[in-house]
Amino acid sequence: MAQCKVVHKPEMKEAARRNKDVINATYKNLVVSDKMKDIAKNRTYFIRTYGCQANIRDEETIAGILEYAGFKKANQIQDANVVILNTCAVRENAEDKVFGEIGALKSLKTKDSDCVIAICGCMIQQKHIVDIIQDKYRQVDLLFGTHNIDNLLNLLEEVYEKKVRVIDVESKMGEVIENMPSLRLEKYKAFVNIMYGCDKFCTYCIVPYTRGKERSRKMEDILKECEDLVNKGYQEITLLGQNVNAYGKDLHDGSSFAQLMENVTKLGISRLRFTTSHPWDFTDEMIDIIAKYDNIMPAIHLPVQSGNDEILRLMGRRYTSKQYKELVDKMKAKIPNLALTTDIIVGFPNETYEQFQDTLKMVEYVQYDGAFTFIYSPRVGTPAAKMNDNVTDEEKHKRFDELVKVVEKYATIKANALVGKTLKVLVDGASKKNKNVLSGYSEENKLVHFVGDPSLVGKIVKVKIKESHLYSVIGDLVDD
Ligand code: SAH
Ligand code: SF4
Ligand code: F3S
Nearest protein Cα to ligand 1, atom 12: 343
* Closest listed ligand to the CA of 198: 2
* Closest listed ligand to the CA of 54: 3
What pLDDT does residue 431 have?
83
Q: Is the CB of 303 under 6 A from ligand 1?
A: yes
Number of the ligand 1 atom closest to the C-alpha atom of 343: 15
Nearest protein Cα to ligand 1, atom 10: 343
Nearest protein Cα to ligand 3, atom 1: 88
What pLDDT does residue 470 have?
87
* Closest listed ligand to the CA of 53: 3
Q: Is the CB of 400 under 6 A from ligand 1?
A: no
Q: Ligand 1, residues 53, 88, 90: which to mutate, most atoms within 8 A of Cβ?
A: 90
Q: Ligand 3, residues 49, 50, 52: which to mutate, most atoms within 8 A of Cβ?
A: 52
Task: Give the distance (Å) from ligand 2 centre to CA of residue 205.
Answer: 6
Nearest protein Cα to ligand 1, atom 19: 205
- 480 residues of the chain, pLDDT tens digit each: 589 999 999 999 999 999 888 899 999 999 999 999 999 999 999 999 999 999 999 999 999 999 999 999 999 999 999 999 999 999 999 999 999 999 999 999 888 889 999 999 999 999 999 999 999 999 999 999 999 999 999 999 999 999 999 999 999 999 999 999 999 999 999 999 999 999 999 999 999 999 999 999 999 999 999 999 999 999 999 999 999 999 999 999 999 999 999 999 999 999 999 999 999 989 999 999 999 999 999 999 999 999 999 999 999 999 999 999 999 999 999 999 999 999 999 999 999 999 999 999 999 999 999 999 999 999 999 999 999 999 999 999 999 999 999 999 999 999 999 999 999 999 999 888 888 999 999 999 999 999 999 999 999 999 999 999 988 999 999 987
Task: Give the distance (Å) from ligand 3 centre to CA of residue 122.
Answer: 6
Phi-psi region of 273 (alpha: psi -120 to 50; beta: other; left: phi over 0): beta
Residues near ligand 2 with C-beta < 6 Å?
198, 200-202, 205, 207-208, 242-243, 278
Nearest protein Cα to ligand 3, atom 3: 52
Task: Give the distance (Å) from ligand 2 centre to CA of residue 198.
Answer: 6
Nearest protein Cα to ligand 2, atom 2: 202
Q: Is the CB of 126 under 6 A from ligand 3?
A: no
Task: Give the distance (Å) from ligand 3 centre to CA of residue 468.
Answer: 32
Number of the ligand 3 atom closest to the C-alpha atom of 52: 3
Task: Give the distance (Å) from ligand 1 centre to CA of residue 90.
Answer: 7
What pLDDT does residue 146 have?
97
Q: Is the CB of 56 under 6 A from ligand 3?
A: no
Task: Give the distance (Å) from ligand 3 centre to CA of residue 273.
Answer: 19
Q: Is the CB of 304 under 6 A from ligand 3?
A: no
Task: Give the distance (Å) from ligand 3 centre to CA of residue 3.
Answer: 30
What pLDDT does residue 1 have?
59
Task: Give the distance (Å) from ligand 2 centre to CA of residue 276.
Answer: 10
Q: Is the CB of 377 under 6 A from ligand 1?
A: yes
Task: Give the pTM.
Answer: 0.96
